[in-house]
Amino acid sequence: MTHLFQPLPLRGLTLPNRIAVSPMCQYQATDGLANDWHLVHLGGLAQGGAGLVITEATAVVPEGRISPDDLGLWNEAQAKALARIAHFIASQGAVPGIQLAHAGRKASNPAPWKGGGSIPLAAGGWTPVAPSALPFDEGWTVPTALDEPGILAVIEAFMDAARRAVAAGFRVIEVHAAHGYLLHQFLSPLSNHRADAYGGSFENRTRLVREVVGALRNILPEDLPLLVRISASDWMEGGWTPDESVALAKELGALGVDLVDCSSGGLVPRAQIPLGPGYQVPFAARIRAEAGLPTGAVGLITGAEQAEQILAQGSADLVLLGRELLRDPRWPLHAAQALGAEISWPASYLRAAQGQVPTRQPLPPTSR
Catalytic residue (choose from 181, 198, 279, 349): 181
Closest CA to 307 of 293, 286, 321, 290: 321
Q: Which helix (H) or strand (E) holds 53?
A: strand 52-59
φ/ψ (deg, to 5) at 310: -55, -45
Measured between alpha carbons, how far is 185 from 130 in angstroms, rounded to an integer? Answer: 7
For residue 311, give Cα distances in angstroms to 22, 80, 208, 284.
17, 36, 31, 11
Measured between alpha carbons, how far is 314 from 285 in angstroms, rounded to an integer? Answer: 7
Query: Per DSSP, what are the bridge partners of residue 352?
Result: none
Which of left, alpha, beta for 87 (phi over 0: left; psi -120 to 50: alpha)? alpha
HSE at residue 187, side-chain half, CA atoms within 13 A, is 34
Measured between alpha carbons, how far is 268 from 15 in angstroms, rounded to an integer? Answer: 34
User: Is residue 181 annotated as part of the catalytic site, yes or no?
Assistant: yes
Active site (catalytic) residues = 181
